[in-house]
Structure 1
Amino acid sequence: MSEIMEGYADLHTHTRASDGTGTPSDNVRLAAAAGLSAVSITDHDTVAGLEEALEAGRAAGITVVPGVEISSSENGKDIHVLGYYMDVADPLFLSRLEELRNVREGRNERMLERLRELGYAITLEEVLERRGPVEHKDTTVGRPHIAQVLVDKGYAESQQDAFNRLIGENGAAFISPKRISPETAIAWIHEAGGAAVLAHPGLYGNDTLVERLAGTGLDGIEADHSDHSPEEVEKYREITRRYGLVATAGSDYHGERGGEVFHGPLGGRRVEAAVLPLLQERAENRSGGMSK
């Protein structure tokens, strides 16, 4: 196990390699400005931003934790699993992430079709234009990109309004594609030599699921998240204690769109960096331990 680290870490941030607004270097700069000693880049179903982030981290003296946020689902509800310290060059893992991105692309196309059927004139080309420049082919397009076009065209007052009425889970144009199970997401992370952490459990409204996964393969739970109440933070910390898991924290920072910071500011939720060696140890112990 590596030497215990000092300081604090934000273990859940996004860049424009998925649906964030800043570059990986921007996130490292913001981590330094927030007084963090470590930050993780956890883009949706891609590790495309990690190389830039690692280089920026070395230059800034900030530890960058290799991460990813894998999309899975159960009973039509999106469940996200964070992976840390995977072998991000593993061909099998990269091909699996590509599968997930293909599912996401199909979801986006169907959601845009549904929006047009409802009278909202919005195209994929507009969404891609709003995303802006990309530095790597393995980037993803997410609902925040669609939400911003809806705002720009006057169809929604804000990103939150777009999610609430149109593209969130209770929205008129929401599409839930067939995704892998959370257990499969955990297995894929383990097989790539990583540690698996359940993202923002308070958003699922299903603590039975949280406890099931806690007892059947998870290495940690993101107890402290920008959308968690103090009571939820303590509840999920208690679950990690009961199951012997690692409690993590993350802002889920996506950047700023139209003056709105999506989820929370980078560094707004943080955990002691001493948890990083615990996650590394979990990753080493889990590596190769599960099948597809």
Structure 2
Amino acid sequence: MKKQADLHTHTKASDGTCDPAENVRLAKEAGLIAVAITDHDTVGGVAAAMEAAAGSGVEVIPGVEVSSVGRGQDIHVLGYFVPYEDAAFQEKLVGLRETRHQRNQLLIARLQELGIPITLENVYRRKQGTDKNIGRPHIAEELIELGVVSSIDEAFAKYLGKGGAAYVNPPRIAPQEAITLIKEAGGAAVLAHPGLYDDDELVQELIAFGLDGIEVYHPDNDAGQRERYTAWANEHDLVMTGGSDFHGWRGEEPFHAMLGSHTAPLEAVERLREIAEERKAGRK
């Protein structure tokens, strides 16, 4: 059986619904050798996942999904083997989360202008703890509870996603800056779910800028896109990664996809590790 890793999962540290230990348990049940914890703009779930994984046979890869904006849309860059215990790196992520909070405020205001009785306070009560790293799925859940929509997908299609009636995009770092932030911290930088962007020119521009890898295997990449990204990865010697983008459960359904359903082989993990180790040593 080929050794596989899910390199894109979220926990309660950002907009997932599972504790980090649950992600580790699901990875073990799926027969994976490794799982990456890649919460949005935070490494807050990594330590707990590593503690839960001790002696389990599952490696936890410390990761992060950095939010940026390019050509008017959200672009996400995954960082692997990042220094999750480093205070300076953590501080840089704090600024990114503050921008996310501003985005949420603008989005809620836009929904209110549309006559929807939603409040920031009611959305934020969905997240416990002091680090309220709220994302659009939390807002979508509130819209469902209010009876405005019947599903997460409908919430994004009508209101929250690109082209939705309430979609907003406050100033954020550019994807090139996200790549640089990850690389300067000693991590490996990979473009997340390129199929979502519908902008091959931008993807190629970021490859030329200095990506280490591209997420070829993702639930939102169709067969034609996977074929195209594979060709570009081979052409530019990029690591081909894969991940489920698991955010836990929305009702009885996994969101985006079940942990372990989209993966990358051990060889991809080892290449990412090698890139990060060389970068930390100042050789890359």
- What TM bracket, shorter-length normalisation? over 0.9
Q: Which residue of 2 aligns with 1:94?
A: 90
Task: Please state whether the residue corresponding to 1:215 is helix, strand or coil.
Answer: helix
Q: Which residue of 2 aligns with 1:177?
A: 170
Letter in 2 for 1:251: S
Over residues 162-202 of structure 1, what are the superposed CA-to-partner deviations in whole Å (9 max), with x where a residue is unaligned? 10001111111111011101111011101111000000011
Decide which of 215, 226, 251 is 1:233's aligned counterpart: 226
Decide which of 34, 52, 56 is 1:60's aligned counterpart: 56
**Total equivalences in the alignment:** 282
Over residues 233-289 of structure 1, what are the superposed CA-to-partner deviations in whole Å (9 max), with x where a residue is unaligned? 121111110001100000000111123322211001011122112101111333487
**CA distance in 2: counterparts of 1:90 and 1:44, whole angstroms:** 17
Q: Which residue of 1 aligns with 2:211?
A: 218
Letter in 1 for 2:100: R
Q: Which residue of 1 aligns with 2:200?
A: 207
Matched, 1:71 2:55: no
Displacement of 1:75:
2.1
Matched, 1:255 2:251: no
After superposition, the CA RMSD in angstroms is 1.5
**CA distance in 2: counterparts of 1:228 and 1:103, whole angstroms:** 27
Structure 2 contact 124–132 (Cα < 8 Å) conserved: no
**CA distance in 1: counterparts of 2:261 and 2:121, whole angstroms:** 33
Matched, 1:10 2:6: yes
TM-score calculated relative to the size of structure 2: 0.95
TM-score calculated relative to the size of structure 1: 0.93
Displacement of 1:20:
0.5
Structure 1 contact 90–192 (Cα < 8 Å) conserved: no
Matched, 1:105 2:101: yes
Displacement of 1:139:
4.6
Structure 1 contact 192–288 (Cα < 8 Å) conserved: no
Letter in 1 for 2:135: G
Task: Please state whether the residue corresponding to 2:126 is helix, strand or coil.
Answer: helix
Over residues 10-37 of structure 1, what are the superposed CA-to-partner deviations in whole Å (9 max), with x where a residue is unaligned? 0000011100010100100111111111
Displacement of 1:117:
1.2
Displacement of 1:80:
0.2
Letter in 2 for 1:278: R
Over residues 92-141 of structure 1, what are the superposed CA-to-partner deviations in whole Å (9 max), with x where a residue is unaligned? 2211100000000011011111111111111122112223x34xx44510
Structure 1 gaps, min length 5: 1-5
Matched, 1:39 2:35: yes
**CA distance in 2: counterparts of 1:89 and 1:36, whole angstroms:** 25
**CA distance in 2: counterparts of 1:224 and 1:93, whole angstroms:** 28
Q: Which residue of 2 aligns with 1:3?
A: none
Over residues 142-163 of structure 1, what are the superposed CA-to-partner deviations in whole Å (9 max), with x where a residue is unaligned? 0000000100110101110010
